[in-house]
Amino acid sequence: MIAEIFRDDTEKSRTIRIFKENISLELMEECIQTFKKEIPWEFIEYDETD
């Protein structure tokens, strides 16, 4: 695995983790495009009731 992109619905954030010291910009852009195509952009809303 070279990179992982993670969507955290509880924090409403998206994070990229890179497992190789250097990767090309083209590969990073391809990873991001795949993420945007495969993973819904909207966060899931959770009730904050305990």
pLDDT tens for 7-24 read 999 999 999 999 999 999
24-43 tens-digit pLDDT: 999 999 999 999 999 999 99
Distance CA 27, CA 13 (A): 21
pLDDT of residue 34: 96
Closest by Cα among 13, 14, 15, 18 to 1: 18
Q: What is the pTM of this model?
A: 0.76
Confidence of residue 48 (pLDDT cuts 50, 70, 90): confident
pLDDT above 70 for 50: no
